[in-house]
């Protein structure tokens, strides 16, 4: 009898399961209604945000939060992808609320939404196209040249490493609700019996460094710092949703401390002097946009329902910050008035006859606003420059690298035209672009990474090229973009140095504080051009990250400070972003890298080689497991010969290992370049690029390594030119 009752119960259970999952529970009209309402809500929020942003720029009342949001604005195909994700997320939330009312209880919406329903929602919102496998059959020259967005680099997995795809996860995400809410969203919820500390409190207690206390690096130049930012802008860009107010209740994220999507404000702790300046008691923070089909969408698209963030750039070292990471932008940056394969340049100004970046055609832009609110009546308003990456105006040192390498492309295109008069503009452009990609693959691996991860890690993971492996996914990992590759924030000097031809402080154009060099293209146009800034990068030292003096207040207290408005804190932003992205804590990543996982103060003191710092961290976090991975990584003592600790050395090397091995068009891969061309690329010299594109006449031959003026500097005439002869092709 008992057996018979069990059989009946099992049958009823199977029947119930079949009834629940056999057919979609939602009619097409219900889905369409929800999608229409979601689109109206999202479009209204986007339009409101655009209107408010333009109005603030015109009235010169932009805030530092406006600046950060502008930097993170999705554009072009990225904006379409973010909008589609917002459509789908809001449509599912509307359906969930409707089902909750019907069921009169709180439920997981996806329990009653079938895969077929989700597919319809995805089709109607545009999310489906984000997961459609692109065809590579109609794309020309895939064996020789990259596509702008790097689709079809891998012939088997055509989206691997391409733009506008989710970051990859090396460890599962950790969210408060297991799906999408960041740890700390509910500040009263404990993790492992401890409350997470406020990120601003951690910043105040651990990272505070007065500008006057900054220590300079004895070995490396400030170019190492800015080149780190330059390479990051080739590999990672995490867009925000463009909205400035909550979808659910209309709250303006900049005027409230309420946590409501996409607002995740940074609370200011008691006794913080910022409380006297900010009545709301928080620093505005906008969550990163979710990738289409992630978070609250069941197991759609063959993935879990955990929220993922999107990388709008390609994962390859392809100099996308010069050329753009999508076709429309790439075409916009080209000079199509001639058939010479050139990039566009500024038509209003030059730098002592040398090219400058073109101006943006936006009517209202942050750079003109920045000029207006300096209260310097001698400053002439000019628009922002435009380049392959939207962040090119972030500071004048970064802008200078953008300008330098735009000039190098045009120099190469001109030289190739002389070698091969029969080449048309498209061939000249693609060949120059391909050489530029080779340049930076060589410079990054041969010169730059050695100074960051040290010779031991290079020998173990990044020495001899192992060849292309189509089974290696080169996509950028979330932990690399959100934590490990933000190590150079601790190497930023409080000044952007400007030096004269004798490598001394420029008398006419002295070095501005960093916060005075944000969004300031006029400083390049009217204050001496590129040469003083490039000399400052190679002739002055980077900041040294020490456990006593981590982040200077120039970026911890004055980030994007344009006026009296409350500035941002880069340290707090980094930790809040890690929580926003669901990054596991410090110990999980130490385990991932095969490193010890400290369990108590004694063990943490041993790892950090600093008992005082270990005590301070545990007082805030309770136990090492809870330490934000970015903070734990930058707190570690350096590996031998490097500028990061063992954890970040592991994560950075692992990422670059995948980037190289998973790139079909890597410069060393057979058939990408000829053997003679590879020999030329092996001799690539960053010093020579500087000499060829500026008025500078002497530089250190190794510009990343600090040298005293004199014996450590080489005349440009003594630095060999790049040999382009292997690119000579007989006329057909």
Active-site amino acid positions: 233
| DSSP for residue 166 | E
Q: Which two tokens stand for residue 644?
A: 């990061």
CA distance 137 to 144: 14
Nearest CA to 442 out of 644, 648, 240, 689 is that of 689
Distance between alpha carbon 65 and the CA centroid of its chain, in Å? 17
CA distance 393 to 387: 9
Nearest CA to 593 out of 626, 633, 541 is that of 633
Q: Is 188 helix (H, G, I), strand (E, B) or coil?
A: coil
Nearest CA to 226 out of 357, 356, 395, 367 is that of 395
Q: Which two tokens stand for residue 512?
A: 């501005």
Q: Using the Cα atoms of residue 99, residue 104, residue 109 and residue 114 in order, give the sign of their dihedral.
A: negative
Q: What is the distance between the terminal CA atoms of the chain, rounded to a whole angstrom?
A: 91
Beta-bridge partner residues of 288: 240
**Block residue for tokens 């889905």:** 31
- Which bin fits 87, alpha (ψ -120 to 50), beta or left (φ > 0)? alpha
**Block residue for tokens 């592991």:** 650
Q: Is 564 helix (H, G, I), strand (E, B) or coil?
A: coil
CA distance 37 to 227: 46
Nearest CA to 561 out of 517, 515, 495, 522 is that of 515
Contact yes or no for 365/351 (Cβ under 8 A): no
Nearest CA to 554 out of 523, 518, 593, 501 is that of 518
CA distance 77 to 50: 17
**Block residue for tokens 């006859």:** 353
Q: Is 190 helix (H, G, I), strand (E, B) or coil?
A: strand
Q: Which two tokens stand for residue 718?
A: 């003594």
Q: Using the Cα atoms of residue 186, residue 189, residue 190 and residue 191 in order, give the sign of their dihedral.
A: negative
- Which bin fits 154, alpha (ψ -120 to 50), beta or left (φ > 0)? beta
| DSSP for residue 712 | T
Contact yes or no for 561/374 (Cβ under 8 A): no
| DSSP for residue 673 | B
- Range list of H helices, 462-569: 478-482, 522-526, 530-539, 553-556
CA distance 651 to 714: 35
Beta-bridge partner residues of 263: 260, 286
CA distance 497 to 187: 41
CA distance 259 to 256: 8
CA distance 127 to 310: 13
Contact yes or no for 350/407 (Cβ under 8 A): no
Q: What is the CA radius of gyration of the chain?
A: 26
Helices (H) and strands (E) in the chain, counts: 25, 12
Dump the DSSP string for 357-402.
PPBP--SS-HHHHHHHTT--TTPPP-PPB--SSTTTTSSHHHHHHH
Q: Kindly report the backbone phi and psi dihedral angles of residue 82, in degrees, each rounded to the nearest multiple of 5, phi listed first.
A: -65, -40
CA distance 704 to 538: 7
């Amino acid at each position: 009898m008992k057996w018979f009752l069990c059989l009946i119960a099992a049958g009823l259970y199977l029947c119930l399961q079949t009834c629940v999952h056999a057919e979609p529970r939602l009619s097409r009209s219900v889905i369409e209604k929800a999608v229409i309402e979601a689109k109206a809500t999202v479009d209204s929020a986007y339009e409101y945000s655009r209107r408010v942003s333009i109005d603030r720029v015109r009235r010169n009342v932009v805030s530092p939060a406006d600046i950060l949001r502008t930097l993170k604005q999705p554009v072009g195909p990225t904006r379409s992808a973010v909008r589609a994700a917002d459509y789908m997320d809001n449509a599912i939330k509307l359906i969930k609320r409707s089902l909750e009312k019907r069921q009169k209880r709180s439920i997981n919406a996806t329990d009653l939404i079938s895969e077929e329903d989700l597919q319809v929602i995805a089709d109607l919102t545009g999310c489906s196209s984000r997961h459609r496998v692109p065809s590579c059959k109609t794309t020309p020259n895939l064996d020789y040249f990259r596509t702008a967005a790097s689709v079809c680099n891998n012939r088997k997995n055509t989206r691997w490493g391409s733009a506008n795809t989710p970051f990859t996860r090396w460890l599962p995400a950790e969210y408060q609700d297991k799906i999408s809410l960041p740890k700390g969203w509910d500040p009263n919820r404990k993790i492992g019996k401890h409350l997470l500390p406020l990120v601003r409190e951690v910043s105040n207690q651990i990272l505070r460094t007065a500008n006057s206390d900054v220590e300079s690096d004895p070995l490396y130049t400030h170019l190492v710092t800015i080149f780190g930012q330059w390479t990051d802008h080739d590999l990672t860009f995490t867009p925000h949703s463009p909205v400035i107010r909550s979808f659910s209740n209309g709250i303006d994220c900049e005027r409230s401390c309420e946590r409501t999507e996409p607002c995740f404000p940074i609370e200011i702790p008691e006794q913080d002097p910022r409380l006297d300046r900010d009545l709301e008691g928080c620093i505005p923070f906008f969550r990163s946009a979710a990738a289409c089909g992630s978070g609250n969408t069941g197991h759609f698209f063959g993935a879990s329902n955990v929220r993922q963030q999107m990388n709008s750039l390609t994962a390859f070292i392809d100099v996308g910050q010069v050329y753009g990471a999508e076709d429309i932008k790439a075409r916009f940056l080209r000079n199509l008035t001639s058939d010479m394969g050139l990039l566009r340049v500024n038509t209003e100004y030059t730098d002592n006859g040398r090219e400058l970046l073109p101006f943006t055609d936006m009517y209202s832009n942050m750079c003109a606003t920045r000029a207006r609110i300096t209260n310097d009546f001698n400053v002439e308003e000019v628009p922002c420059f435009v380049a392959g990456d939207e962040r090119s105006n972030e500071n004048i040192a970064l802008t200078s690298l953008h300008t330098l390498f735009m000039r190098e492309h045009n120099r190469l295109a001109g030289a190739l035209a002389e070698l091969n008069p029969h080449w048309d503009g498209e061939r000249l452009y693609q060949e120059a672009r391909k050489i530029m990609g080779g340049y930076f693959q060589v410079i990054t691996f041969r010169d730059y990474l050695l100074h960051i991860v040290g010779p031991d890690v290079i020998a173990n993971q990044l020495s001899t090229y192992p060849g292309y492996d189509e089974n290696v996914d080169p996509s950028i990992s979330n932990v690399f973009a959100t934590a490990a590759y933000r190590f150079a924030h601790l190497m930023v000097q409080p000044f952007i140095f400007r030096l004269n031809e004798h490598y001394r402080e420029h008398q006419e154009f002295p070095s501005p504080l960093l916060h005075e060099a944000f969004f300031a293209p006029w400083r390049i146009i009217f204050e001496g051009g590129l040469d003083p800034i490039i000399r400052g990068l190679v002739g002055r030292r980077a900041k040294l990250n020490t456990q006593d003096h981590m982040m200077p207040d120039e970026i911890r207290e004055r980030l994007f400070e344009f006026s009296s408005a409350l500035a941002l804190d880069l340290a707090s932003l980094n930790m809040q972003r890690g929580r926003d992205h669901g990054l596991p804590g410090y110990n999980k990543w130490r385990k991932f890298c095969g490193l010890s996982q400290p369990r108590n103060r004694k063990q943490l003191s041993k790892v950090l080689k600093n008992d005082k710092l270990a005590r301070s961290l545990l007082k805030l976090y309770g136990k090492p497991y809870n330490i934000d991975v970015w903070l734990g990584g930058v707190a570690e003592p350096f590996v031998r010969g490097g500028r990061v600790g063992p954890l970040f050395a592991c994560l950075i090397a692992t990422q670059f290992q995948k980037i190289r091995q998973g790139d079909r068009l890597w410069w060393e891969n057979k058939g990408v370049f000829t053997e003679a061309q590879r020999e030329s690329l092996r001799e690539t010299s960053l010093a020579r690029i500087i000499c060829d594109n500026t008025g500078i006449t002497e530089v250190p031959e190794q510009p990343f390594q600090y040298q005293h003026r004199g014996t450590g500097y080489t005349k440009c005439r003594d630095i060999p030119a790049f040999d382009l002869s292997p690119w000579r092709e007989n006329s057909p």
